[in-house]
Structure 1
Amino acid sequence: MLGLPELMRAARLPTPARRRPPSARRLAPVGGSRYNELINRPFNSAPALAGPIKMSNLSTSRAAFTPIRTKRAFEEICIQIRKEIQAGALSAGDRLPAERELAQQFCVSRATVREALRTLEIGGVVQLLKGSNGGAVVQTGNPAPIARTMEDLLLLGGISLEDFTEARVCLQAEIIRLACLRATEADFAALEANIARTRTVDASLDPDERTALNVEFYGLLAAATRNTAMRTMMSAFTEPLSYYIQQIGPDRTWDVAASREKFLAHLRDRDAKAATREMVEHMNRLHRYLVSRFEARAPD
């Protein structure tokens, strides 16, 4: 069997780093005493979610920075700003000093400060706002970089497709357990509407809308847990796969909408075990489909 790097190359995707080919072991099933223990254990309610940053709440910070003397000065700036956040001198909604002032405090050029701020923005630490109320504002956090990192690891061979799927199965089992405990009728209605739109898109063969609906479905399921960490992790495991499916095309022999309708019925019944079995069957089928399609495109 060809390894993921060769399979990706055959699919005309960017060439990943060389790594060992995936083993032929089966993915571990979800079930047994360990899973039952997870399903039945008590779980406290999740804390309230943090709200968005309001412009009226922004205030310029009084964090103290020291001059930079290293060759890669922008990295040291990032480190200092992160340390100020850890120490509590900076918090979500605080505006950093102006670019010119930061350059003076760090004893570096404004270009170096801009590079540091862009790096922090990519990492989800700050948001760069424009206009009269612009500047670098500390965020509550951004999960997007986590999904990008997971996608890079999968593409470059740092994580095998097999290990990725196995971890996704474990994550989904816990998300389903929590959703069965906490989901409301509004959550069920949102999932039902998503499935109905998915069936319509399946007929129109629109790949972009299909991808968007797939990401939305898993986002809605994760939101039903009322756990922001679960939502972040779900995004990290959903978006990379959506990219690959968009590249090679969906499995036309598999009625995804029908599978999700069965899943939702189990979820409404608060039957975590049955819902998990339906989801695991879907994920294992998807895994086999991805491998077979990449193998079919591999050179002889």
Structure 2
Amino acid sequence: MNEIDPALTDLPRRKRTDEIVDAIKRMIVEHGLAPGDRLPQERDLITQFAASKGTVREALKALEVQGLISVRTGPGGGAFIERMSEGRAMSLLSNFLFAKNLSIANIYEMRKALEPLVAASATPHIDEAGLNRLEAIISVYDHEPADATERWNQRMAELDFHGVVAEYADNPILAFTCRFLQRLLKDLAIAQDIYVQPEPVLRQSGIEHQRDLIAAMRRRDADAAAAILAEHMAEAEQHMLGLQARLMDRFLSEDATPRRARRRRAP
């Protein structure tokens, strides 16, 4: 007779609330419920799951916090399916990562792995309108900025270029992850500090990579598109890390200057 592994018997029992949350999610998928559709009434959920009113309400509250439903009170009220926007999903993930001390290196480690894949995935599907959008975005930053505002807008447009490529990928998880990484760079404090600096950027090299990418996608060469993005991401990472190092050196130098001045004034 096979003995049960004692470790398996020590596994914590899942909360009943969590089980009901998962069951409702399965119900939404299996019944093909769409945004605006209403879930069964609370009393029906209580009967269906043989749970207390408090447990069912806790499960519905958890689904509402996740952005999957909204609970309305009063006549005609109930729990209704909500459309989870990409922006809200990214905000939830950003909140989770808020205290994780993300770095530019962390983000580019992922971008180097995924951006070539998303370019290859998008190549068979992008149309001429999409390629024209990419060319239009390049025109935003193919020249020196006139002021700080234009400099910032150019840096954001450089990231938006890759967001458009991701729109045409046939793998929604891959596309979402790449767009999320681009958003993290826009929101990361150290990256923002770099983007506002009047530092020289690898403008022409980056633009050449992007134009080569457009050409590869236009001729439906997915392997070439992936290779171009791999080189582009590696170069972009080195450039960003170099700018970060120079920025930190400048901060340290500025911080040390007053101390040296104080020592010179001391008797």
Q: TM-score range by the shorter chain?
A: 0.5 to 0.7
Matched, 1:84 2:17: no
* 5+ residue gaps, structure 2: 1-12, 217-223, 257-267
Matched with 1:30 is none
Matched with 1:269 is 215
- Cα offset, 1:243, TM superposition: 0.7
Partner Cα distance (2:138, 2:77) in 1 = 42
Partner Cα distance (1:81, 1:286) in 2 = 45
| Higher RCO (Cα < 8 Å, 6 or more apart) | 1
Q: TM-score with structure 1 length normalisation?
A: 0.57
Residues 189-231 of structure 1 deviation map (CA, whole Å, 9 limit, x = unaligned): 1112222234589434238755753553221011233432222
Query: What is the letter of the counterpart of residue 235 of structure 1?
Result: R
Residues 236-285 of structure 1 deviation map (CA, whole Å, 9 limit, x = unaligned): 21111111256414153234654443123201321423453234212331
Q: Which moved more, 1:176-185 or 1:134-143?
A: 134-143
Aligned counterpart for 1:171 among listed residues 98, 114, 125: 114
Q: Is the 8 A contact 1:90 1:138 kept in 2?
A: no
Aligned residues: 225
Query: What is the letter of the counterpart of residue 100 of structure 2?
Result: L
Q: Which moved more, 1:249-258 or 1:163-172?
A: 249-258
Matched, 1:107 2:61: no
Partner Cα distance (2:63, 2:119) in 1 = 38
Q: Is the 8 A contact 1:147 1:236 kept in 2?
A: no
Q: Which moved more, 1:282-291 or 1:107-116?
A: 107-116
RMSD across aligned positions (CA): 4.1
Partner Cα distance (1:256, 1:99) in 2 = 59
Partner Cα distance (2:95, 2:145) in 1 = 25
Matched with 1:18 is none
Matches within 5 A, 1:1-300: 75-85=18-28, 88-89=30-31, 91-93=33-35, 94-98=37-41, 106-109=51-54, 112=58, 115-121=61-67, 126-128=68-70, 135-137=79-81, 139=83, 142=86, 144-145=88-89, 148-149=92-93, 152-153=96-97, 155-157=99-101, 161-198=104-141, 202-206=145-149, 209=153, 213-244=157-188, 247-250=192-195, 251-255=197-201, 258-270=204-216, 271-272=224-225, 273-294=227-248, 296-297=250-251
Partner Cα distance (1:216, 1:297) in 2 = 29
% of aligned pairs identical? 18
Matched with 1:28 is none
Q: TM-score with structure 2 length normalisation?
A: 0.63
Partner Cα distance (2:77, 2:142) in 1 = 45
Give the direction of change, closer, same or farther, for the CA distance of 1:246–1:104 in structure 2 (3 Å limit): farther
* 5+ residue gaps, structure 1: 1-69
